[in-house]
Structure 1
Amino acid sequence: MKKKVLIIENDQDIRHIVEFILNEQGFETLSMPEPQDLSEIIPFAPDLVLLDEFINSRPGHRLCLKIKQVHALKTIPVIILSTANDIELIATECQANDFIRKPFDVTDIVGKVLEIVNHQPMAY
């Protein structure tokens, strides 16, 4: 059973690159610039969320906090992607499981995704 990664990224090019990289690694992906409502994430049942800190209408860390408050989503690990200098602090404050600095290295993003999804119980 393939692990699922939800990619929430404002930049379409980055979104497509990350999706391609993860698909090549055997992950099932769903990508979007920004969910209109968190209920649209629930049916996909991701094993991990990659979340851009700078999305269209709100900061990604606010969306991260909302994800952590929704019963059906709160146990899903979140990795924040950002160019922000204080990304480590942002990730800590929004209860993200990890962070990746942009521009990212392909081996770094794949390594962190694999590390987090492989230390997580399988979703049924």
Structure 2
Amino acid sequence: MKVKKKVLVVENDYDIRNIVAFILEEEGFECMGIPEPQSLDSLLAFKPHVILIDEFINNEPGHRLCLKIKQFESLKHIPVIILSTANNIELIAEECKADDYIRKPFDVDEMVGKVITVIDKQPLTLN
């Protein structure tokens, strides 16, 4: 049996979070959606293969969370995709070392394709 790849969706908008999770689950991914992480350690429990982060989450901009993930030893190998309506999303993604970005409103096929691409670029693991 093939192990489902896990996607963590960090999005404070309940509807968008659920829509993104629904779309990805329909494509065969296992998803967990949260409005924002309680701590970086809390992200480890789900063991995501990719993390999607909205730029505009409650207490902290998504790019700051992305930078923290990329500096956290246990998480830095996990690809991060920034989601945003920001005009300068390309620059935001580059500055926070995100692996990719998705502009909102997003195209469903593009979003799924980017998730698959960043997961496929990762080295094989046993989890």
TM, length-normalised to structure 2: 0.95
Give the CA RMSD over aligned residues: 0.7
SS of equivalent to 2:106: coil
Residue 36 of structure 1: CA displacement? 1.1
Name segments (4+ residues, structure 1) moved above 6 Å.
none
Matched residue type, 2:32: L
Which residue is 1:19 aligned to? Answer: 21
State the 1:122 CA deviation: 2.9
What is the aligned-residue identity percentage?
A: 63
Q: Which blocks of at least 5 consecutive residues in structure 1 are unaligned?
A: none
Give the letter aligned to residue 122 of structure 1: L
Q: Give the deviation of 1:27 after TM superposition.
A: 0.5
Secondary structure in 2 matching 1:30: strand
Give the TM-score normalised by the residue count of structure 1.
0.97
Q: Distance in 2 between matches of 1:96 and 1:118?
A: 16
The equivalent residue for 1:5 is 7
Please list every run of 5 or more consecutive structure 2 residues that lacks an aligned counterpart in the other structure: none
1:56-83 Cα offsets, whole Å, 9 max, x none, are: 0110000000001111100100000000
Query: Is residue 47–residue 123 contact of structure 1 (8 Å, CA) maintained in 2?
Result: no
1:78 aligns with one of 52, 77, 80: 80
